[in-house]
Chain A
Amino acid sequence: MASLAATFGRGAMTNGWVDIKNSDVIFVMGGNPAENHPCGFKWAIEAKKTRNAKLVVVDPRFTRTAAVADYYAPMRAGSDIAILLGIIRYAIETKRFHEDYVKVHTNAPYVIDEAFSFSDGLFSGWDEGKHEYDKSKWPYQPDEQTKAYKVDLTLQHPRCVFQLLKKHVGRYTPEMVEKIAGMPKEKFLKVAELVTSTGNAEKAGTILYALGWTQHSSGVQIIRAAAMLQLLLGNVGRPGGGVNALRGHSNIQGATDIAGNTEILPGYLKTPIGAWQTVADYVEKTTPTTLNKQSWASMNFWQNTGKFMVSLLKAQYGKNATKENDFLYSLFPKVDGSYAGYSWMHLFDDMYRGSSTKLGKQEPGPEGFLTFGMNPVAIGPNSPKMVAALAKLKWMVVVENHETETAGFWKAPKDQYGTPDAAQIKTEVWMLPAATFAEKDGTFTNSARWMQWKWKALDPPGQAKGDPEIVGRIFLAVRELYRKEGGAVPEQILNVAWNYTNPIAPDQGEVLKEINGKALADIHDPKDPTKLIRAAGQQLENFGQLQDDGTTMCGNWLHLGVYTEAGNNTQRRNNADPSGLGMFHNWAFSWPANRRIMYNRASADAQGKPWDPSRPGISWNGEKWVGDVPDIKPDSPPGQFGAFIMLPEGVGRLWSPVLNDGPFPEHYEAVEAATDNLLHPKVTSNPVSKRFSSDKDKYADRKDYPVICTTYRLTEHFHYWTQHQHNGRLNVTQPGFFFEMPEAMARQMGVENGQHIRVSSPRGSITGPAIVTKRLLPLTLAGEQRWQIGMPIHWGYAGDPAHTGPLANLLTPSAMDPNTWTPEFKVFLVKVEKA
């Protein structure tokens, strides 16, 4: 999501599930939607059947998605950027890109300052000591007259983004792609030809991806490369186009929207840093500005940050937040300067080492841990370290449906996980039984950003309770303790507004109303003070009504419109679709503002005419934009504002100077590199990628661990959950753990199909049956034959005893992307022996 925000402005799927049916080319890479999103994948099939769309799949494994593809090409796990930059090079060289779109809707014409350079695998601004880039070394060049961005609409200026990009990708020739990715040149060229066939006004193509791209030490930059490719092909903002992040869980998009990550608050507001002492400070530091703050045709929607933040503080602290006390911003939780230290990867490293660096000082690691619907032992890398970390806690509270690997961490088999003796472990564990999704009301936000209400279907069993009640009871008890006993900063808790009809178990509709927000005083039209926009107490209807003076409250500005005076819009179920494009505006609510395709201004040309009249996103009728809910000021004529309203430049970023590892993507090997980097052997892996240094963080060398390994999911199971069902149907369809290995490798090792093999990394060792398959191909790397194998993740030591198995993460390393700290589960090194 970080890369999509850095390129387009918002971190979410650009289009939607149903919209895939409007595509001419569906490019699947870094995902396996037939396997992991079978219901959404129906729209890809629909496009094949009704539009003769071409489904192109690139994957290290011939997957179930590949099984129904029109074209499949194999690759080496972790070579994604080389392939994508190779396609970008092909598009530029063969002029198979949408030039008119690129000139209007991207920063291709923008001129970059001389301070930027790239050589030997490093961008300018590299700090060898800190292992960081100074991003100020990647600036835009101002126009001498206007002081705003300098642009060259002919795209010929040698320092314009287009020319810099052309030079940057020039190295990724089909021959180089073949060498790096192990994809035969003719297959690469076929993929490139199919994908770039949409680089024009007539056709539209989509890219579908998932964790196969995110879980790399350069994961964010892989997605960046895909987003750039789609900008170049003119596929962003258009029906049938987009970069579509397929979210794995039913509500993972909702979790990120409401602040699922350490670095964000609800609605992707930045988490405050301690040094930002006031709301004014916060707004100044987090609001993006155009170059030199000169006037520039951009809505720069984040300029409303103050309204979003103050309305959030009003939701948090209610009447206690006043203009005079700076809306109690001082009490709001903050981080000490870097978000990295607060990622859950770092929390577990601190927990294991018993030490944490905060505000530049050493302090003890966490002693308590509350885990809510999360199973860190199973989902984190290097499971033995996860188990050992929990063993150092004083207490842990697990809120779950089942006893997970985390809840019973001390039961991890000692021979595999090195678990300390139970008698030595002092961790006191409480398990709070929680209701499942069907046992509580609430919303699911799907990949398409549709917030859909679901009604409770049955009562939770036994003492299990819904999350609102669990949170409510904990909050009320903690507040009572602070009231009675005081504590370090009791005001932080005592000032929180908790005005629910039933404070013990807040009604989810009431919470959604609070998320949407309401007017706290009469709000008048600034242009005409006699005109009342909202009366005090009324639910807000749109972003424009938010105020920064404390007269509105809003729990998440992004969701505004979800619960208006018209009612709970997530409950709408009208399946009329006058557009015929699958927009369904009266079905549930799609953030932002019930818009179905984001950046839809880019679906039309400079004059506001749709690129493809048979698939219009929005169009200008002379007075206003019509079609989908416009992603632009509805009455702003074409040319007034750029199509990417969340970015200060107002255009899509082929060049993005905000990520931690460079303004352009570059191919780096995984942290556990299977080979030298052919482009720059001195900088093999992503120089900014993160790893840990505890005694349990051991990384593999390719001499001892020559085989490339990857992990994935199976359609038959849901994460680490379904193996818990006793006598369950899904345990029949996939009864247990396995490896997959290439036929040629099995032949060489003398392994028969179904025979057990032992796979080891420096973290641990797993034995299991091997599926010997033609679907994994041998690779030649630097003239040497190499193998890649894989394993699904679904098993662990908890669950139905007939269906337990090894955690795949026993083998994976703590190697992380420098922007999101997502671990590299998709490429690591192992050795393979007969068991």
Chain B
Amino acid sequence: MATTQQGMEIRQSSASLRGTATGARKLPVVAKYIDTTICIGCKACEVACAEWNDLPPVQTEQRGSYQTMPTLHAQYWNLIKFNEIEIGDSLAWLMRKDQCMHCADPGCLRACPAPGAIVQYENGIVDVNPDACIGCGLCETGCPFDVPRYHARTGKMAKCTLCVDRASVGLEPACIKACPTGTLHFGNKNAMLEMAEHRVDQLHKNGFPAAAVYDPPGVGGTSVVTILAYGDHPEWYGLPKDPSVPASVRFWKRVLKPVGLIAMAGAVVAAVGHYLTVGPKEPKDQERPS
């Protein structure tokens, strides 16, 4: 996306003094529904994501896992995480679709020093605007889910857009459309939560007493509603137990927001300083976890 999605009301925007919301258009908050208990790890969502978003293929290598690559990548925004967990004398092979969680209180947006580079639309989708992104990488430090990635060639940050271009015209995200088992659904968040609660009730009666919906309050909830059979162990799925926006990011925001211009200057200095001391970002190591 060259810019923010046309026709979408922006609720809040990074490093802006007052935000850009006009309040003219009221949109219900949307969410993805992910039922990990019936995910078969087929990766159709991975392929659909890459296809729809025209992401060029990333070179991968088999190093000991079914997982496509170790973590998300600037050119791979949707990744099934595979985890083998021993529970008593039985085994669970947990598969969870990892992507941007689209937090209601987005740490990336809080951390971003570039005005308008990260926006949250009225419907809850959190998006990067490459026109405004300065590629400083601070959004990474604000994200409790380790999602945004620096794209070495474009010099911008990249992540799942929740297919805002599709959502804005009433289509479900590409990943949802590709899912063969009904693991993935898309709709208003309230409806998704209701569906998830119903499924969790069923799981409680079927030998999963700890089944739960993962919608962490520490980030104000997310626009990804995830059903976990082992809801007391989100870490088994590669999810933080109680994620929140780092205090330093919040502090930065609160103190510096009133002096936005200084913040911007600071950001530029920070970016240049980062470049000079650390050098340009490399794509993450390709080591694959089991």
Contacts and interface: CB of A to CB of B under 8 A. Distances in A.
B44 A38 contact: yes
Interface stretch (B8-16, B35-43, B160-168, B269-277): B35-43
Interface stretch (A82-90, A193-201, A424-432, A732-740): A732-740
B35 to A, nearest CB: 9
B202 A49 contact: yes
A285 interface: no
Contact of A64 (B93, B180, B202): B93
Interface string A746-764: 0000000111000000000
A68 interface: yes
Given A42-B180, A774-B86, A67 B47 contact: no
B22 interface: no
Given A48-B38, A68-B37, A754-B288, A774 B91 contact: yes
B60 interface: yes
A41 B60 CA distance: 28
B172 to A, nearest CB: 16
A738 B182 CA distance: 30
Question: Which has the most chain B C-beta neighbours within 10 Å: A46, A49, A727?
Answer: A49
Interface residues of B, number: 43
B66 interface: yes
Contacts of A34: 40, 42, 181
B242 interface: no
B68 A733 contact: yes
Contacts of A45: 38, 181-182
Interface string A4-46: 0000000000000000000000000000001100110110011
Given A38-B44, A67-B41, A729-B51, A737 B62 contact: yes
A537 interface: no
Given A67-B95, A68-B37, A733 B84 contact: no
A65 B182 contact: no
Given A67-B41, A733-B46, A62 B91 contact: yes
Contacts of B191: none
Given A52-B202, A729-B50, A39 B180 contact: yes
A606 interface: no
A728 B57 contact: yes
Interface string B251-266: 0000000000000000
Nearest to A774: B84
Contact of B41 (A64, A731, A754, A772): A64
Given A41-B180, A42-B180, A64-B93, A733 B43 contact: yes
Interface residues of A, number: 43
A70 B206 contact: yes
A771 interface: yes
A72 interface: yes
B290 interface: yes
Nearest to B47: A729
Contacts of A41: 40, 180-181
Contacts of A754: 62-65, 288
Nearest to B207: A70
Interface string B159-189: 0000000000000000000001110000000
B94 to A, nearest CB: 8
Contact of A773 (B60, B76, B84): B84
Nearest to B65: A771
Nearest to B41: A64
B6 interface: no
A773 B181 contact: no
B90 interface: yes
Contacts of A72: 90-91
Given A46-B182, A775-B84, A68 B38 contact: yes
Nearest to B206: A52
A66 B46 contact: no
B62 A66 contact: no
A770 interface: yes
A45 B36 CA distance: 12
Contacts of A67: 40-41, 92-95
A468 interface: no
Contacts of B68: 732-734
Contacts of B65: 753-754, 771
Contacts of A715: 40-43
A735 B61 contact: yes
Given A46-B182, A733-B47, 4 more contacts: A34-B181, A38-B40, A729-B57, A732-B58
Interface of A: 34-35, 38-39, 41-42, 45-46, 48-49, 52, 62, 64-68, 70, 72, 715-716, 727-738, 753-755, 769-775
The 5 lowest CB-CB distance pairs between A and B, nearest first, are: A754-B64, A753-B64, A34-B40, A754-B63, A67-B93
9 contacts: A38-B181, A42-B180, A62-B91, A72-B90, A735-B62, A754-B63, A771-B66, A771-B290, A774-B86
